[in-house]
Chains A and B, each alone.
Chain A
Amino acid sequence: MAALELRAVSKTYRVGDREILAVDDLSLSAGDGEIIGLLGSSGCGKTTTLRAIAGFVQLTAGRIAIDGNDIHNLPPARRGVAMAFEGYALYPPLRIRENIGFSLLRERRPGGEIRRAVREIAALLDIEDILDHYPAFASAGQQQRTSLARALIRRAPLTLLDEPMSQLDPQLRAQVRTRVKEYLAAHRLSAVFVTHDQNEAISLADRIAVMEQGRLQQFGTVGELKNRPNNLFVAGFIGEPPMNLMAAEVEAGGARVKLLGETDNRAAAAVGELRLNGAAPALDAGRAHIGIRPHQVVLADDAPLRGRVISNQWLGDQSHVLVDLGGLRIVVVSAGRVRDLRKGENIGVNFPPDAVIFFSAKDGTALPRAGGHGGE
């Protein structure tokens, strides 16, 4: 029910005489009814961003707007946001039922309506049986669902969720995720949630903002993050297993690429050679990084790149094969069972030219392709 816009948002914390830049020049916008996931590792600034939207963090610079109205100077209560806290933040003196209905009571809604709403949301999150308990007597998972229920019941224009399912066990998590997503969609609610779990981000969010060290690395759909990563960080962060990244030396024109080993490799011992038939970006000869998704690498006996199998793991629906190309290890995901591959066996791998993504060796940003397809 609301569009969110963050413009050049920065937040600096002062600890003693040190300044810590928690969020650095972050801009992103979310459409009406969109679910946005803030994804990143601990300390990347995602929670600070969420708390800034909620109104608990005073911005150092920038502005935040909901439906075009600046809200970054308003107190939390007047921003029209609901929030589920990572530490649950339940009200200890109140029963679960009163915790969930607290905001509706503050809005002076009639008792019958509150009771109905509480029952409905409790059924959605499977906590009907503990409604008359106090938070101290509920399990961590129940407390977390109570916190989630307390945020969702408001149907606020913008719902903020901080690690909303971290305490739930995997089966329950998948179930709650689906129900929360359906609930948000049914009531056309916009939401921003914070997570460090990319599976959660992928399954709950319409678009994902990947953050690292206070900076937005990329904001886009899962497909965009996976197939057109903005930089080396996103490439290595998204995907399970993550993208194979390696240092390379590109010939002028980009017809041939020499693989040099791991991305941090300084010793330029060539591992092998790729022929890319002009699919490489228009760049001058020199160092670059290249990446390829594990499931796009093809195992082929007649391929020119040769390596040794280090391990072969069958996961029930796919195989993860770790191949050593002479100092450079890559992971190959094969949907079919590659039963006959044994440890130590010699194997050929093929990088389909379209699947290879180039990154600048200087700053790690993705390089556009000459042909205009693939990378941006």
Chain B
Amino acid sequence: MINPDLTVKISSLTLKNPVMTASGTFGFGLEFANLLDLSSLGAVVVKGITLTPRQGNPGPRIVETAAGVLNAIGLENPGVEAFISDILPELLPHAVPIIVNISGNTLDEYGILAARLNETGVSALEVNISCPNVKEGGLVFGTVPEQAAQVVAAVRANTRLPVIVKLSPNVTDIVSISKSVEAAGADAVSLINTLLGMAIDTTKMKPVLGNVFGGLSGPAVKPVALRMVWQVSQAVSIPVIGMGGILSTEDALEFIMAGASAIAVGTGNFVNPQATVEIISGINSYCSEHEVNLKDLVGMAWEAN
């Protein structure tokens, strides 16, 4: 097969390929514009946006652990108004779907954010109900199925854009959360956000991170992420966007075969800022070689089970 079909449909949105960027690891995309062609990506998911600007947590905010990274940035961002007026006009000409990750402290804030981003040219919303590094909102909404559903309903009522819900792995039963956000109107789910963790500096005899706890990402979390993608994708009928430690084509294919319709590169962008484009080309070669389209591979590992 010379040109395999790599397109992915998320509700009304069609991505030219399944490779996206994970929120918080790609800035607003512009920072990468001289390293890769942004328009070659399936979508750019931008840094999490809140209603008002946030300064984030005090440092240290980041520490490397075995095959992973712990971060406690705390959703530092310029706020939705600055995003729309200062950043979006520079980003939209790059002709790549822009997915805006939104976080609220309250249900109302999620609704206002969703409404504000209508008619701005962005392609979809990713609803963050799983940030482990902020005190209010964030993770709280992501760990209780009823609360998660309320957030999704608040967003759904205020937007015509496709709604992706980013799920937390810090739960007992990720399947019940995913079903509850699907029932509330989510068009897709993305998983996983980071796993709550910590590190201690034995010289200073105290936690390394200023926030004490942080979110673990990178290859260390990949087996957990894969397992959750496998479970969720078989339990819901909306597309699953898989992420967690993807650095290579091989990693991406594992997620797709586990049931992910699309994938996102997160921490991998820090290690290899061109990982996304290398993975797109790798998936294309793999599909060509095996004479399959992308959708034939989604969940392929279930059958053998």
Q: Do the two shown chains form a genuine complex with each other?
A: no
- Which A positions have Cβ atoms within 8 angstroms of B? none
